[in-house]
Structure 1
Amino acid sequence: MLRTIQACTIEHARETETVDWFMAIPELMAFIAVVIWRGVTKVPSLSDNWSEMYGNKRIMETMSSDRFKDIMQHLRFDSKNTRAERVQTDKFAAISELWESFRQNCVTFYRPGRHITIDEQLYPSKTRCPFLQYIATKPDKFGIKFWVACDLKSKYICNVFPYVGKEPGRPKEERLSESVVMKLMGPFLDQGRTVTTDNFFTSISLARKLRSRKTTILGTLNKIRREIPPSAREIKQSEFSTQVFSTTDATLTVYAASRKKTVYVMSSMHSVIQTEDSRKRKPSTITQYNSTKCGVDAMDQMVRQYSVRAGTRRWPVSVFYNMVDMAALNAHVLYQACTGRTERRPDFLMRLACELAESYVTSKKIGKENHLRKQAATPVEPGKRQKCQVHHRCKKNPATVRCVHCYKLTCGKCKREVPWECQVCADQF
């Protein structure tokens, strides 16, 4: 994935800027580290990350502001030369190859538990995008919609697809909701799992399909759905009352939370419905649904808390930000599962960014030291007045020797007991 981003970014930069433009893999990893640091330590604007008041020391040591903006300007995820052909069949072509690699990694490297939650995620964005969505009930009205399957216990993102509009390959008789669930649950079928959905996805036909693949479903039903029998609508429900309708495929629970609110829950995992001994007398299907419905919502809340999202005019960059957020969350889950340690997400994200930037920062220091050694090897011309390089106030003082640590020319005021050791290095060592 990093090589794909590197190749596409270099290709775009050389077409628009200079033929010598280059970005190595360690530098790209350092760029992603800066993006993660920026998400953890929120500042008013991008330039404030390098300011004296709000600046992050790690960011300033890793990459300059001009270089970060230069990479961001040329950041691309596909080849522009072949994009026109691919867009004809794939609206997501500008980043589809990279996203498919990320999705496959999410599926491959984690085994989810019994309960998986499926829901939609609206990633906030107001860029010019052909499949931008408007959902009035969401906190951010505009964004790019993703279908997400999430493990209930760990909030690991098991599978995720973007919504780009009508799918040409989907049969007309098949509902979009059924197609989405079967596509998300494809790698996890035939293993005795339970999927929890909301009233957009739940249906009798979907329950039949999942049941044939050894998977059960638990979800709410919209009251206008044809799956609800007329007798269930005609019954006058009193407060905290329950009615059960059973079929060979699923069990429908009609629960009246109040005189004006009735909830319909369909389950293919409950053959017997029990009612709890309390004032509200909730049935077991309602209790089970309440405890398993929040997987994707909790995941989205965790991602937003330390999101790397920033203003951009290109929708592939917004998708890339969402990918980094999801990858960082999954990495935290995998780290805790593999090591058995419990670590706060901000601490983990800071260490993750440090490890990503470590290779580039080390090579940068080595390059600087080699440059200083090369500079130190250059003999001082006899009779030429050299300026001190240690302090700004000593720029006019004559200097004839170099420090043994930093190889900077040192004047008499900046030296210590040893004439070739400058005052700054003497304080450090």
Structure 2
Amino acid sequence: MFKPRRKHIASAKNKSWKNISKEELYAYIGLLLLAGSQKSYDVPIRELFLDPLSDPHYKATMSVDRYEEIRRHIRFDDKRTRALRFETDKLAPISYIWNIFIKNCTKLYNPSANVTVDEQLVPFRGRCKFIQYMPSKPAKYGIKIFWMCDSACYYGINGVIYCGKEVGAPAQKDLGSEIVKTLAVPIFSSGRNITMDNYFTNVELGNFLLQKDITLVGTIKANRREIPEALKHNRQRALYESVFGFNNKATLVSYKAKKEKSVILLSTMHHNCSIDSNDRKLKPEIILYYNKTKGGVDKMDEMVGEYSCKRQTKRWPVVLFSNMLDVAALNSFIIYTENHPEFHARRKDRRRLFLKDLCHELVMPHMIQRSDVKGLIKQTKEAMKRCGVQFQMIPGPGERKRKRCFMCPRNVERKTERFCSICKENVCKEHSSEKITCQNCLED
């Protein structure tokens, strides 16, 4: 049913590259997001465009050859200066648009009182100098991105791509703390709280954030030097027992969750030994607060993966670009629904409906421009009509039905396929000019 994918590029076909316009780029992004909203990441591209049962937006927006041409040649930097920038920047092919993306994410949203810091693993198994192996993640291999997200609505506020050790630089100590200090810059002096896991948490970081008017709640490793012996795991302690430690700025709590396991948390927000007596496991308030606010990044990653526009590729900049589109689409959904809470308020799939409307708005300007191009095939015009493009379908030779000439009297049954080029009414040879224009239109 579908043609095989063409592996030769435009130059091999003796064709010159046609520059892409802003409207066409928006349309390409819209089609990427549309495939993600329909969970069509594993459907062949030619099937999306050529199958008569597929969404008409694909066929109406651009040809499948043009889509594949853009996908094959898309770049995010100037290749002529890339080698020079690679000497100091491992993200040279993508860093320009990544910085713009993060700047807009930070600028366009005011987060709630609690934010979460954690990592996201973007699945990728191709060639990349800073690919990471994380056995605890479902994908195992990929590119690691540290995110700061809103704990309430899961908005991606700030992100840092982990590129490993810089060339010639010494090994960086306490990387987790440095990552948090970088991510937290947009919320300095705001009085907010950051929740994090034991990869990032330490007492020194808590003191630093307090100077910036930010509190910290997070689990902490038991082998840290600042942890007193009394708070470390002890088999003699009773199950669900809590041991607290205080100083002027921070609180430590050791909670025995299981027979062979104790969890230690650090908080610069809590300063008492409050325990929830209604809870069967007698959890301290610090742990309950941590459990409530720790899932911002994990939930963001889950929501991004639900409607992802990622497709199989061997180019890591394209993988990061697709992840940026997914996060941007989620962030835009959060901003829109907070400003318009009535948007499909009772629907469980309101995010899918938002993505569907977003894709339609992105592709329509280019689709309308394309509708003015002469020589479009009938199937493309019909797809445009289904998408809402308003134009009159002019039939080709032999496609128009024979009808009675609208200028002849009723008692004369003179049928013809000829029609006026202006008003499109059927008109006989006697009542039309050489250019097939009826007498009424000639007089006007």
TM superposition score normalised by structure 2 = 0.80
Change (3 A) 1:216 1:169: farther
- Structure 1 residue runs of 5 or longer lacking an equivalent are 1-11, 373-388, 392-403
Change (3 A) 1:366 1:314: same
1:366 corresponds to which residue? 372
Decide whether the 8 Å contact of 1:415 with 1:421 is kept in 2. Answer: no
Decide whether the 8 Å contact of 1:13 with 1:74 is kept in 2. Answer: no
1:115 corresponds to which residue? 114
Measure the CA separation in 2 of the matches of 1:334 and 1:65: 33
Please tell me whether residue 23 in structure 1 is matched to residue 43 in structure 2: no
Q: Secondary structure at the match of 2:303?
A: helix
1:218 corresponds to which residue? 217
2:403 corresponds to which residue? 416
How many percent identity over aligned positions?
Answer: 35
Within 5 Å, give how 1:127-276 maps onto structure 2.
127-167=126-166, 175-233=174-232, 235=234, 236-276=236-276
Tell me by how many angstroms 1:139 deviates.
0.3
Change (3 A) 1:357 1:239: same
More helix by share: 1
Change (3 A) 1:413 1:226: closer
Within 5 Å, give how 1:341-356 maps onto structure 2.
341-343=342-344, 344-356=350-362
Moved more, 410-419 or 321-330: 410-419
Decide whether the 8 Å contact of 2:121 with 2:142 is kept in 1. Answer: yes
Measure the CA separation in 2 of the matches of 1:274 and 1:170: 46
1:381 corresponds to which residue? none
Tell me by how many angstroms 1:154 deviates.
1.4
Change (3 A) 1:17 1:225: farther
Measure the CA separation in 1 of the matches of 2:100 and 2:298: 24
- Aligned residue-pair number: 383
Q: Which has the higher contact order (CA 8 A, sep 6+)?
A: 2
- Structure 2 residue runs of 5 or longer lacking an equivalent are 1-8, 345-349, 380-390, 406-415, 426-444
Within 5 Å, give how 1:301-380 maps onto structure 2.
301-343=302-344, 344-368=350-374
Tell me by how many angstroms 1:152 deviates.
0.9
Tell me by how many angstroms 1:16 deviates.
12
Decide whether the 8 Å contact of 1:238 with 1:258 is kept in 2. Answer: no
Measure the CA separation in 1 of the matches of 2:214 and 2:13: 52
Measure the CA separation in 2 of the matches of 1:347 and 1:170: 48
TM superposition score normalised by structure 1 = 0.83
Change (3 A) 1:162 1:173: closer
Tell me by how many angstroms 1:40 deviates.
1.4
Decide whether the 8 Å contact of 1:245 with 1:252 is kept in 2. Answer: yes
Measure the CA separation in 1 of the matches of 2:30 and 2:220: 44
Tell me by how many angstroms 1:54 deviates.
5.5
Q: Secondary structure at the match of 1:100?
A: helix
**Matched letter for residue 77 of structure 1:** F
Measure the CA separation in 1 of the matches of 2:229 and 2:92: 46
Q: Secondary structure at the match of 2:372?
A: helix
Measure the CA separation in 2 of the matches of 1:211 and 1:169: 33
Decide whether the 8 Å contact of 2:231 with 2:253 is kept in 1. Answer: no
Change (3 A) 1:332 1:285: same
Measure the CA separation in 1 of the matches of 2:399 and 2:183: 72
Decide whether the 8 Å contact of 1:204 with 1:249 is kept in 2. Answer: no
**Matched letter for residue 246 of structure 2:** S
Tell me by how many angstroms 1:172 deviates.
6.7
Tell me by how many angstroms 1:171 deviates.
8.5
Tell me by how many angstroms 1:164 deviates.
0.5
RMSD of equivalent CA atoms: 2.7
